[in-house]
Structure 1
Amino acid sequence: MPAITELNSQLTIFEELESEVRSYIRSFPVMFEKAKGYKLWDAKGKEYIDFFAGAGALNYGHNHPKMKEKLLSYLADDGITHSLDMGTKAKAAFLEKFENVILKPRSLQYKVMFPGPTGTNTVESALKLARKVTGRDLIISFTNGFHGMTLGALSVTGNSFKRHGAGVPLHNSMAMPFDSYLGDDVDTVDYLERFLEDNGSGVALPAAIILETVQGEGGLNTAKDEWLKRVEEICRRWDILLIVDDVQVGCGRTGPFFSFEPSGIKPDIVCLSKSISGYGVPMALTLIKPQYDIWEPGEHNGTFRGHNLAFVTAAEALSFWETKDFSREILDKGAMAGEFLNDLTDKYPELKGEVRGRGLMRGIACGVDGLAEMICGRAFEKGLIMETSGPNSEVFKIMPPLTIDREGLNRGFAIIEASVKESLNK
């Protein structure tokens, strides 16, 4: 009891002064004090393995030593921190490295826009630009998609709880069924295509189609490569812009730097944020095919779009991608996670589990109400941080830093299995 009383005392300041909207502190009710690599420690020194990675913002772990060294050196030299969209050496260095390490080797041509510091900022800019380019207002999104919390991004988000928080009607968008949403026997691209080709469908020709290749918050629903190719073909046939939201699943989370690479598609606009800075420092990019970069100067702006501290760490983070070794490591460790999860569903059929995801973004959809949340709660008690996803929080989600070693993965797996066993026996 004394330990609980002390913990409650530590957290009182948040209860008294912070808004009721706070959420993660309710799932992880401790005072965190330190973090390194794939581990965190609370104020009492208890160690936690991180299978959460800042909701995908910490793909390279906490306080990566090379990024920290570059950042501290830049600050010590009085480097520019804030610059709006003025020219700085830090921004120039990032742009040059992004072009040479990421875009050119993949034969991708994009203009780079800095829309503001968050994922929802890049989505808003993408939607706005698509409407400006086409002169149309409708955006087609997909069931269970999640694209952000501002009004435009919410309008293309599927989650009803998030949408209701807007407080106003969300217009100029329409949701279509994602891959396998209607079952494995229904090709939902046929469904989409029928609406577009039929003048009596009531669906106007859209400005853009926006999608995630793996729906992170929507439940780890994964689009097949062939499905993605067919969506791209529809966009080309009807002059619709294709927007891929790679905010959570980009920067290597599924194996390659961009999640859409295995499918061979080339989106017209790509949204990046979360781990693009490499260090958890706020940063976002909107990548635009050059022919669609028709902005007037200042037509879309933001005070914090020139965050030089993020440029410094982001440039260093791109060093991971100078060879193909890092991508191979992610795929190997992702295969380990997949094997563990498949074994878990076989060993514990009471989960009524379905393994989902790609790369190091995987999980199990539990067919028992409340079970995924219970498993995550027990895992936290045992020193593992992970979250749920899906419209009913039915999926427990493995999303560690991509840099985690195999020992760390196996330690985390052992905690998950113990938590599953206890939850099912309760």
Structure 2
Amino acid sequence: MTITPPALSVFEALESEVRSYCRGWPAVFDRAQGSHMYDEDGHTYLDFFAGAGSLNYGHNNPVLKRALIDYIERDGVTHGLDMSTTAKRAFLESFQNNILRPRDLPYKVMFPGPTGTNAVEAALKLARKVKGRESIVSFTNAFHGMSLGSLAVTGNAFKRAGAGIPLVHGTPMPFDNYFDGTVEDFLWFERLLEDQGSGLNKPAAVIVETVQGEGGINVARPEWLRALAELCERQDMLLIVDDIQMGCGRTGAFFSFEEAGITPDIVTVSKSISGYGMPMSLALFKPELDIWEPGEHNGTFRGNNPAFVTAAATLDTYWADGQMEKQTLARGEQVEQALRALCEEQSGTHFRGRGLVWGIEFEDKPRASAVCKRAFELGLLVETSGPESEVVKLLPALTISPEDLDEGLRTLARAVRETA
């Protein structure tokens, strides 16, 4: 497919230089349905980006769209702060019945604001309030958001530099396999905790992604996560799992930590919790941690009722019978087989992932960006990740058909070959 870059004058003239995705995908998009997006010139793109993981059920999912239209047409409440509404009640009941109870998870639910970084900020704030300590431990190559508290536990130097002030009260530790298996897990971390001369303030909590998405699709082993949970318990630290991108079924199970058999103290959820790409986030925590005073943490848009409507419809449609997890794991096997064959063919490449989040790492780091550019020209949307943008990241919708998935994988393989 040959694509002529559109006239972007109004975007270039009025929109801030901070814009990024539109630079890699120079098209003006007009419509989207399922796993496809369409620009105003009629070109079709297969979407392996899914709104950075916010569209696990595809664009304009018809079931969710119907629920939303019906709610709007009956003049359902749109903006409700933290008032009790029928839409919120329906979501909470669905979340309890379809997600929490079947997994024997005791969590209270907090609506901290519309975005993932709001959930992270609330989690950090609550952990510090509960433990009476300031320090938070995070991990190398972590990404937790763009507001100041979230940036303080984010690893990427470029994103951290944008803060413009010192980012304090956070300490990084090595993520799983950071030393290629040559150092015992948590050796350094535990030694610092136990040494009164280490200079490490006793942390209130540890925050971790089970799969680091923006960090390069770094997958933590279940045994590493279990050891981390045990360390937190021994050392009186709360364990926060950031499931903003990897939750809502992205790795197979609804929560990405289920495979490890752990129960974090606090979990942050956002992106695909609304199912329809509308802003919504949750902070989940064990009941004994719910020591907030009324109004102590709030936000004007924490009551996005249309998002509650589509979220409830998502859970009732896709998470009531266990089939979504099985389908995601099957699609993941399809991706794994294709990437294994491609990487065996292409020297200097490595792949990794879980469920329907995968990455191809290129030893020739600039090649990843070249692959994404060529994929766009061929009608496939993929982005890079990793500290030096050296990984091509795949995030197709969980509802993608096997045929569309195969087509996208073939297109990706062509882009890789043509940039060799």
TM over 0.5: yes
Contact 2:139 2:172 in 1 (8 A): yes
1:325 corresponding residue in structure 2: 323
- Residue 3 (structure 1) shift: 7.5
Contact 1:250 1:272 in 2 (8 A): yes
Show CA shifts across 1:373-415 (max 9, x none). 0001000000000000000000001110000010001100110
The answer to whether the aligner puts 1:176 opposite 2:138 as a matched pair is no
2:217 corresponding residue in structure 1: 220
Show CA shifts across 1:337-377 (max 9, x none). 1111111110111xx11211111000111100200100010
The answer to whether the aligner puts 1:26 opposite 2:23 as a matched pair is yes
2:386 corresponding residue in structure 1: 390
Show CA shifts across 1:281-334 (max 9, x none). 000000010000000000000000000000000001102011111101100100
What SS does structure 2 have at the residue aligned with 1:396?
Answer: strand
1:254 corresponding residue in structure 2: 251
2:408 corresponding residue in structure 1: 412
Cα distance between partner residues in 2 of 1:270 and 1:413 = 32
2:333 corresponding residue in structure 1: 335
Show CA shifts across 1:146-182 (max 9, x none). 0000000000000000000000000001000000011
Match of 1:345 among 343, 346, 350: 343
What SS does structure 2 have at the residue aligned with 1:338?
Answer: helix
- Residue 185 (structure 1) shift: 2.7
Cα distance between partner residues in 2 of 1:413 and 1:369 = 20
Compared with structure 1, are the counterparts of its residues 335 and 3 closer, same or farther at alpha carbon in structure 2 (3 Å cutoff)?
closer
2:238 corresponding residue in structure 1: 241
Cα distance between partner residues in 2 of 1:110 and 1:235 = 18
Contact 1:242 1:268 in 2 (8 A): yes
1:302 corresponding residue in structure 2: 299
Cα distance between partner residues in 2 of 1:127 and 1:3 = 45
Cα distance between partner residues in 2 of 1:362 and 1:267 = 24
1:365 corresponding residue in structure 2: 361
Structure 1's unaligned 5+ residue stretches are none
Cα distance between partner residues in 2 of 1:192 and 1:182 = 14
- Residue 190 (structure 1) shift: 2.1
Contact 1:355 1:364 in 2 (8 A): yes
Matched to 2:134, the amino acid is D
1:376 corresponding residue in structure 2: 372
1:121 corresponding residue in structure 2: 118
**TM-score after normalising by structure 1:** 0.97
Match of 1:35 among 32, 41, 62: 32
What SS does structure 2 have at the residue aligned with 1:44?
Answer: coil
1:403 corresponding residue in structure 2: 399
- Residue 85 (structure 1) shift: 0.1
Question: What are the equivalent positions in structure 2 for 1:81-92 lying under 5 Å apart?
Answer: 81-92=78-89
Cα distance between partner residues in 1 of 2:338 and 2:16 = 39
Contact 1:182 1:188 in 2 (8 A): no
Structure 2's unaligned 5+ residue stretches are none
Contact 2:6 2:28 in 1 (8 A): no
Matched to 2:337, the amino acid is E
What SS does structure 2 have at the residue aligned with 1:166?
Answer: coil
Cα distance between partner residues in 2 of 1:3 and 1:130 = 50
1:108 corresponding residue in structure 2: 105
What SS does structure 2 have at the residue aligned with 1:415?
Answer: helix
Cα distance between partner residues in 2 of 1:139 and 1:13 = 43
- Indicate the RMSD between aligned Cα atoms, in angstroms: 1.0
- Identical amino acids, percent of aligned pairs: 57
Contact 1:179 1:187 in 2 (8 A): no
The answer to whether the aligner puts 1:286 opposite 2:283 as a matched pair is yes
1:56 corresponding residue in structure 2: 53
**TM-score after normalising by structure 2:** 0.98
- Residue 119 (structure 1) shift: 0.3
2:274 corresponding residue in structure 1: 277
Contact 1:53 1:399 in 2 (8 A): yes
Cα distance between partner residues in 2 of 1:414 and 1:66 = 29
1:15 corresponding residue in structure 2: 12
Cα distance between partner residues in 2 of 1:214 and 1:336 = 19
- Residue 205 (structure 1) shift: 1.1
- Residue 193 (structure 1) shift: 1.2
Matched to 1:91, the amino acid is K
Cα distance between partner residues in 2 of 1:129 and 1:333 = 37
